[in-house]
Amino acid sequence: MTKSVKNIIIIFAIGCAIFIVDNLISGGFIFDSVNDFLIDFVFFQLYAFVLGFSNVYFFNYFNRLNWKKGDTVKRIVLGIICSTIITLMGLFVLRMLTSLTLGGKSLYEFISNETLKSYQFGLWVTLTIVSVFHIVYFYNKYQQNRIKEQKVIAGTASAKFNALKNQLDPHFLFNSLNVLTSLIEENPDNAQKFTTSLSKVYRYVLEQKDKELVTVDEELQFAKTYMSLVKMRFEDSIIFDMPETASNPESKVVPLSLQLLLENAVKHNMVTSSKPLHIKIYEDGDNLVVENNLQPKQIVKKSSGVGLSNIKQRYDLLTNKKVNIYKEANSFAVAIPMLTKQIVVMRSQSQPQIDDSYVRARNHVEELKGFYYSLISYCFVIPFLIFVNYKTSWEFQWFWFPMFGWGLGLAIQAFKVFVNNGTFSRDWERRKIEKFMREEEENKHWN
């Protein structure tokens, strides 16, 4: 079922509900004929579809805007204000067209007879529905964030394990030791420099193993140290160019990503004095690019592909930005995103590991507290609104709309907190998370 069909069904159901509520408030379903009933019903559906789709399109547009994490209250207030304006404009146009076409009135007569009371019912209905939409929307966002957080927690340990396992190719270590052996005999001074650089490489690995992100400056400095080792082995057969620092000192990348990309460039390309390998690191917008001239080896060992896939996996856990690969006839480049926003959802392995049952219990307590706060607020605010309605305009009992809308939200919250089985329960969340993780693992095997 497409999204448009779902919206049509929902708006039709809302139109039916409003038709029933309006007739109950006005004294019951009293019609002179079936034809009058159908005309009244069609008019309610017309109003529901015009106001419903205008608010739906606005709501979708509003959601596509780039809201910051702390803009929730601002987003709700602006959404309600804009929905109110859209509703008033829609009601005005519909009432004007009805009056001019069916009522036979002139535009002047219509405007002169318009009062704010004519818009109260439609406005309260729309605000109630918008409030329910906001409750459902933020509830769904909350569920999505919970699933994403569980995915990150479950995948971080595996990703870090693979990262540590594949950070330095055993062949690189073997070749480095071979180079060191030859340098000891031929050039003891260079052998000492080589040993110092090699120790820096492994110290950096040990220092960064528990981090999700490191600054670009740190990674560039490490890449410089790593390439000094490579140049001792290949001498002038490698030409290496990189900036000293990043343009934004706060920008970050996943640790050891540059080393893995540099190692891949050396591993898969010919490196000779007649055909030197040119490697360049540079910034391109929000990406850090590692580019080399393409001169593939004639005979190369089968690649496991763990280096590049490892970088992609770690970025997938941190951000929606993707690692991009550009391959042309004479060049090969990989662009990794530079991140500037703090990652708060990741958990470091250096932190104490908390039992998953404790986490679920703690979250359940927080949900209970939230529900009881909402229930207490409901018990105080709704009677106050009833009192205000009674003292001001009891002939139009508008208190039913906030009482129904807020009550529906409370019912959803209570169902989520107290129901242990079934759809939308905590067990349902756990099953969905486990299913999602299994699908992720199967996709990894197939890809």
Domain annotation covers residue 273: yes
User: Is 423 among the domain residues?
Assistant: no
In a domain, 58, yes or no: yes
- Residue 2 and residue 108 in one domain: yes
- Residue 429's pLDDT is 59
**Once rounded to an integer, what is the mean pLDDT over residues 417-431?**
56
The residue among 100 and 284 whose pLDDT is bigger is 284
| Burial of 219 from C-beta contacts in 10 A (0-12 / 13-18 / 19+) | buried
Q: How confident is the model at residue 350 (pLDDT cuts 50, 70, 90)?
A: very low
Instruction: Assess whether 216 and 76 both reside in one domain.
Output: no
Q: Is 353 within the bounds of a domain? A: no
In a domain, 51, yes or no: yes
Asked if the model's pLDDT at residue 298 lies above 50, the reply is yes
Same domain, 98 and 179: no
| Residue 183 and residue 100 share a domain | no
Residue 258, H or E segment: helix 257-268
DSSP assignment letter at 29? -
Stretch among 229-233, 289-293, 383-387 having the lowest mean pLDDT: 383-387
Residues 80 and 219 in one domain: no
Is residue 43 helix, strand or coil?
helix
Sorting pLDDT into bands at 50, 70 and 90, what band is 364? low
Confidence band (pLDDT; 50, 70, 90) for 345?
very low
313 and 179 both lie in a single domain: yes
Say what the pLDDT of residue 79 is.
79
In a domain, 95, yes or no: yes
pLDDT surpasses 90 at 335: yes
Backbone angles phi, psi at 269, to 5 degrees: -125, 155
Same domain? 107 vs 230:
no
Sign (positive or negative) of CA dihedral 151, 212, 207, 220: positive
Helix (H, G, I), strand (E, B) or coil at 252: strand
At 287, the pLDDT band (50, 70, 90 cuts) reads very high
Q: Write the DSSP symbol of residue 302.
A: P
Helix ranges (H only) for 26-115 are 34-64, 72-101, 107-113
In terms of pTM, does the model score above 0.85?
A: no
pLDDT at 176 over 50: yes
Residue 208 in contact with residue 256, Cβ under 8 Å? yes
Q: What pLDDT digit, counting tens, does each position of 49-71 carry?
A: 888 888 788 877 877 777 776 77
Which of these, 317, 351, 313, 357, lies nearest to 149 by C-alpha position? 317
Residues 186 and 264 in one domain: yes
Q: Within this chain, do residues 209 and 327 fall inside the same structural domain, yes or no?
A: yes
Task: Look at residues 311, 337, 363 and tell me which one is the last residue of a structural domain.
Answer: 337
Q: By the 8 A CB rule, do 287 and 298 touch?
A: no
Distance, in Å, from the CA atom of 374 to the CA atom of 138, rounded to the nearest integer, reads 15
What CATH number does residue 275 fall under? 3.30.565
Q: Which of 279, 309, 337 represents a domain boundary (last residue)?
A: 337
Asked if the model's pLDDT at residue 336 lies above 90, the reply is yes
Residue at which a domain ends, from 74, 99, 114: 114
Q: Average the pLDDT over each of 81-90, 137-146, 181-190 and give the range with the smallest value.
A: 137-146
Is the pLDDT confidence value at 344 over 60? no
Residues 6+ apart with CB under 8 A from 263: 168, 169, 172, 307
d(CA 444, CA 446): 5
Could you tell me if residue 343 is inside a domain? no
- Can you tell me the mean pLDDT for 10-17? 79
177 with 273, same domain? yes
Nearest alpha carbon to residue 181 among 169, 195, 170, 171: 195
Instruction: Determine the structural domain holding residue 26 and report its residue range.
Output: 1-114
Q: Is the pLDDT of residue 301 over 80?
A: no
Q: Which residues of 131-151 are buried (b: 16+ CB within 10 A; e: fewer)?
A: bbbbbebeeeeeeeeeeeebb
What's the confidence (pLDDT) of residue 123?
76
Same domain, 253 and 321: yes
Does residue 160 belong to any structural domain of this protein?
no
Number of structural domains the chain divides into? 2
Find the range with the poorest average confidence among 277-281, 284-288, 317-321, 433-437. 433-437
> Are 302 and 179 in the same domain?
yes
Across all residues in the chain, what is the average pLDDT? 75
What is the DSSP annotation of 185-248?
HH-HHHHHHHHHHHHHHHHHHHHHTT-S-EEHHHHHHHHHHHHHHHHHHHGGGEEEE--SS-SS
